[in-house]
Chains A and B, each alone.
Chain A
Amino acid sequence: MPNLGELASYLVGLVTDAIGSSEMRLGAVPTVAILIVLLVLLSLIARPEARWSGKGLGGLGRVGRVMALAAESGADATISLGSAGISRGASATERFQTLAALPLVGYVADAAARAGVPLRVTTNDPVAAVLAQATLAGAHRRTATPERASAAAIEYVGDGRAAAAAFALATARPHGVAMVAGGLAEDAMLVLDGVLGDAEWSVGATASASQAAGPLLDGDGSLIGPELFQAAAEISARGHARTAVLAANRLIWGAIGLLLAGSLITWAGGTEVAAFLTGR
Chain B
Amino acid sequence: MRRSILTGIVLATGLVVLLDLMVVNPSLDDAAQAVNEVLVLLAAAAAVGGGATLVAFHARNLASGDGDSTGSIVLLVGMAAILVAGLRPGSSGSSDPAVLWLVAALLAPIAASVFALLFVFLLGAFRRGFALRVRETSLMAGAAALVLVTLLPIGGQAGEWLTTGAGWLRDVPLAGVFRGLLIGIGILVAVSAARSLLALDGDDD
Contacts and interface: CB of A to CB of B under 8 A. Distances in A.
Interface string B166-205: 0000000000001001101111111111111011111111
A25 B22 contact: yes
Interface residues of A, number: 92
B34 to A, nearest CB: 14
A8 interface: no
B104 interface: no
A50 to B, nearest CB: 9
B93 A25 contact: no
B187 A226 contact: yes
Given A162-B110, A254-B45, A25 B87 contact: no
A145 B203 CA distance: 19
A201 to B, nearest CB: 11
Nearest to B132: A220
A172 B141 CA distance: 25
A218 B128 contact: yes
A45 B188 contact: no
A258 interface: yes
A99 B194 CA distance: 12
A126 B50 contact: yes
Nearest to B90: A271
Contacts of B153: none
Contact of A130 (B46, B114, B132): B46
A18 B27 contact: yes
Contacts of B159: none
A174 interface: no
Given A129-B50, A216-B129, A229-B188, A186 B3 contact: no
A69 interface: no
Contact of A255 (B45, B50, B87, B88): B45
Given A212-B181, A241-B201, A41 B50 contact: no
- Name, among B54, B115, B121, B137, the residue most crowded by chain A CB atoms within 10 Å (CB to CB): B121
B8 interface: no
A130 B48 CA distance: 12
B195 A158 contact: no
B12 interface: no
Interface in A202-226: 207, 209-210, 212-214, 216-220, 224-226
Interface string B131-170: 0110011001000000000000000000000000000000
A240 B203 contact: yes
A93 to B, nearest CB: 6
B81 interface: no
Contacts of A149: none
B49 A193 contact: no
B46 A251 contact: yes
B45 A207 contact: no
Contacts of B7: 241
Contacts of B196: 99, 237, 240, 244
Contacts of B71: 170
B46 A165 contact: no
A239 B22 CA distance: 33
A229 B189 contact: yes
A250 B194 CA distance: 23
B89 interface: yes
Contacts of B185: 93, 207, 209, 225-226, 229
B24 A23 contact: yes
Interface string B109-132: 011001101100110111011001
21 contacts: A22-B28, A31-B22, A96-B193, A125-B50, A126-B49, A155-B57, A165-B114, A166-B110, A169-B117, A187-B115, A209-B182, A214-B125, A217-B128, A226-B181, A226-B185, A229-B192, A241-B201, A249-B1, A251-B45, A271-B87, A278-B40
Which 4 pairs from chain A and chain B are nearest by CB?
Answer: A126-B50, A162-B111, A254-B45, A226-B184
Interface of B: 1-3, 6-7, 21-28, 40-51, 53-54, 57, 68, 71, 75, 86-89, 91, 93-94, 107, 110-111, 114-115, 117-118, 121-122, 124-126, 128-129, 132-133, 136-137, 140, 178, 181-182, 184-196, 198-205
Interface of A: 18, 21-26, 31, 34, 41-42, 44-46, 52, 87, 93, 96, 99-100, 125-127, 129-130, 154-162, 165-166, 169-170, 186-187, 189-190, 192-193, 207, 209-210, 212-214, 216-220, 224-226, 229-230, 232-233, 236-242, 244-245, 248-252, 254-255, 257-259, 270-280
